[in-house]
Amino acid sequence: MAVEAVIFDWGGTLTPWIPVDHHQLWLDVCGLHFPADQAYQVATAIHAAETELWQACDQSQQSATLDHLFQRAGIVANDEFLASYFTAWEPHTATDPEAAPLLRELRARDVKVGVLSNTMWPRSAHERVFIRDGIFSLIDGAAYSSELARAKPHAEAFRAAMAAIGVTDPATCVFVGDRPYDDIYGAKRAGMRAVLIRGSHAPAFDAGVPDAVISRLSGLLPHLDSW
Ligand SMILES: [Mg+2]
């Protein structure tokens, strides 16, 4: 069946996976907004809450937002704090240089481009990254788990991504992601083709068998040609 749409995961897929010390990142952010004697405690509380929320996501596809995170950590995050947090992430979110040419080529082939990310960030934060890196206008629609009740690999997340780009038949969709469980198993179960991009340290998952494995984004096109 002809491919009508390619839906991409974000972290580790459109943005190369970079190991980030999350506790240190929160320490850096909290150091700007709390007295030194409180910064460590606050950063540690946020980091613990973050770890718990991601565990809940892994175990039951329960989604979460930054509001949930700060509530759980017992802190009030104002706009300045949030701005510092996103600034701290900036060096870790550079879009893969192969993304723009690939998305342009998909556009030229009349293939729709979608994004589906498990994330606590609001849509606006992701869109800022896409605009900064010049790919926002190449994306037809995106679904973020922070706006959904359930995250990948739950079918609801994949349905939301299809709705965001206006496609109805999962068999015409290809999903590209770096996580065997969330991305590959989830997409296959939703009825899509799934392409694993190597490079992150995501754990293996036996039931997540991809239709193809690539080591860089530009490796996708030959597979599309063969489908
Ligand atoms: Mg990923």
Using the 3D structure, point to which of 69, 91, 113 is the last residue of a domain.
91
CA 84 to centroid of ligand 1, rounded, Å: 23
Asked if the model's pLDDT at residue 69 lies above 80, the reply is yes
Q: What angle do CA 194, 196, 198 make, to 5 degrees?
A: 175
Nearest to 151 by CA among 22, 45, 9: 9
Domain termination residue (choose one: 30, 65, 91): 91
pLDDT band at 200 (very low <50, low <70, confident <90, very high): confident
pLDDT in tens, 113-150: 999 999 999 999 999 999 999 999 999 999 999 999 99
Q: Quick one: pLDDT band at residue 162, thresholds 50, 70, 90?
A: very high
113 & 212 share domain: yes
**Last-in-domain residue among 47, 68, 91:** 91
On whether the CB atoms of residues 27 and 41 are closer than 8 A, the answer is no
CA of 219 to the centre of ligand 1 (A): 17
Whether residues 143 and 74 fall in one domain: no
Count of domains for the chain: 2
- Considering the domain architecture, whether residues 199 and 104 belong to the same structural domain is answered as yes
pTM of the complete model: 0.96
- Cα 179 to middle of ligand 1, angstroms: 6
> Are residues 46 and 98 located together in one domain of the fold?
no
Contact 207, 185 (CB under 8 A): yes
- 127: domain range? 5-16+94-226
Are 104 and 144 in a shared domain?
Answer: yes
